[in-house]
Structure 1
């Protein structure tokens, strides 16, 4: 398996991969493939953090991190130069025929490594409570961070790419790009 940066030639395969990967998921609107299309055109898009996993010339996995902001809540003070150093993980997708083979884990590990090399400080996600903690994710509430919608707190998680990166961001709310809500 090879993990590489997604190219425009991959877009059609990635669209269908994401659609297939989320087809039987219960807690989704089944629109993730359209979200990815919108995010690629946004200012939040970081091409180096849009990765595919290929096996025998076929794209079998995909992951995307996009820029988000953490904005003050209840009078919290934030250092302005730090506000653009955070990412959202959405989505990670593995074709159903290739799931449970470590592809998702490999994509997550590689995208974390790349994000850290680009000096991003942390990753926030909304996902399966029993899957992401194995990669070091902790509940957002442990950092004093909230998501802007009503979801179970056990599904809202954050990972510091650098120890202490979220220490100054207690009492904040994640501000997603508008493309997340279109």
Structure 2
């Protein structure tokens, strides 16, 4: 199966949001808000257009990755720019075929070339460690509450990229979703059944666990 990568274009926006919705429906919560998140992140000043990629198969969009720029505010007060991705979306029928891995490895290489020292994400540690991600606690980088969430991980893009940089990761609240805005946005998509799943239990465990 040939998968091609290219930058997302404006004409792709609706299709990408549909792919994202399908990829995350009932995964982290009944329904999904990730498609609205992608829709909103494109308009944020932190959005990194040069790392906004889609994966295609026979000219059909089957995956997508979106990046924003974040900051580590070091203990000495200095600010260090880093990249952060998510959501990474792959249509269910194309999952477990290397599409997500291809999007991540390609854009991580570009992020390094752009001068970003590291990538920080929230995700499943067992999945992301294959790329080089480690728990943020290993780098003494906390969230804004000065805690170490189990899902918070960091990937140094070159050796010792974060040496001597310890502090707080500030995402600036750009991932917050208004339930009423979601309800209105969701009304423009076909109705899908919302239900509880095992993956939601794992997600709740990760976001509520601190190490």
TM-score by length of 1: 0.89
Separation in structure 1 between the aligned mates of residue 89 and residue 148 of structure 2, nearest angstrom? 21
Structure with greater proportional strand content: 1
Q: 1:49 aligns with which of 48, 51, 74?
A: 51
1:179: which partner in 2?
174
Alpha-carbon separation, structure 2, partners of 1:145 and 1:62: 27
Kindly indicate whether residue 30 of structure 2 is the aligned counterpart of residue 35 of structure 1: no
* Residues in 2 aligned to 1:173 and 1:21: alpha-carbon distance in whole angstroms: 30
Decide whether the 8 Å contact of 2:51 with 2:107 is kept in 1: yes
CA distance in structure 2 between the partners assigned to 1:167 and 1:29 by the alignment: 40
Distance in 2 separating the partners of 1:134 and 1:126: 15
The partner residue of 2:143 within 147, 152, 169 is: 147
SS of corresponding position for 1:45 = coil
In 1, Cα distance between the equivalents of 2:60 and 2:148? 35
1:88-103 aligned within 5 A: 88-103=84-99
Shift of 1:79: 3.6
Change (3 A) 1:111 1:149: farther
Give the Cα separation in 1 of the matches to 2:52 and 2:104.
11
The answer for unaligned runs of 5 or more in structure 1 is none
SS of structure 2 residue aligned to 1:153: coil
Distance 1:3 1:21, change over 3 A: same
Name 2:76's counterpart in structure 1: 77
Q: Is the 8 A contact 2:67 2:86 kept in 1?
A: yes
For structure 2, the 5+ residue unaligned runs are 178-211
- Residues of 1 paired with 2:31 and 2:108: CA distance? 26
- RMSD, matched Cα: 2.0
2:13 alignment partner in structure 1:
11
The aligned counterpart of 2:156 is 160
Are the counterparts in 2 of residues 70 and 175 from structure 1 also a CA contact under 8 Å?
A: yes
Alignment partners' CA distance in 2, 1:44 and 1:57:
29
Conserved in 2, the CA contact under 8 Å of 1:146 and 1:173?
A: yes
CA distance in 2, matches of 1:151, 1:3: 36
SS at 1:13 equivalent:
helix
